[in-house]
Amino acid sequence: MYRPDHATHTATTAHHDDRVQFLVVGDETSLAQLEAELALLPLCARGRVFVEVEDAEQVFALATPMRMTVTWLARSHRSGRPGTGERCARGEAGSRAVRAWCDEMLCDGPGETRAIVTGGFTLATEVRDHLIHTVGMSPDAVAAPTLR
């Protein structure tokens, strides 16, 4: 179907998208919770899922809404802090992926983005702090475990 409003859209045309996008983050300690959270999302949900695991043998077909992209982050195939030669520490791969995604996808601010953060203390703390204190998301838009 031809839509004239789309025919005039160019790279310099402002695009206002009022749909909510989701960022879902977890690790191997929260796979059951991650699956449950994904099952509760609307079928039309869109966004990104990052799952940090120890190695690629832990990767499986994760059921998600059709417009969600899943990225598995195996620590055994990643380096730690640049220039140190260290292995990737627990929570590090997921935190780096979230920061990179935010830099690319939220360059104009958080907009209508909702985050669901599961996983170990390091991952959950770093991701939640980055989303709220660096990106500027409202604490109400970030569902994360209570961290004390």
- The pair of three-digit structure tokens given for residue 115, joined into one six-digit string: 């985050």
Grade residue 85 by pLDDT with cuts at 50, 70 and 90: confident
- Report residue 114: phi and psi, to 5°: -120, 140
Kindly report the CA angle at 22 between 50 and 38, in degrees rounded to 5?
Answer: 70
Domain ranges for the chain, please list them: 20-143
Q: Any idea which architecture 20-143 has in CATH?
A: 3-Layer(aba) Sandwich (3.40)
- The pair of three-digit structure tokens given for residue 27, joined into one six-digit string: 């690790």
The pLDDT score that the predictor gives to residue 18 is 56
pTM summary value: 0.83
Distance, C-alpha 14 to centroid of its chain = 25
Which residue matches tokens 């055994």? 76
Q: Whose CA is closest to 128, among 49, 28, 26? A: 26
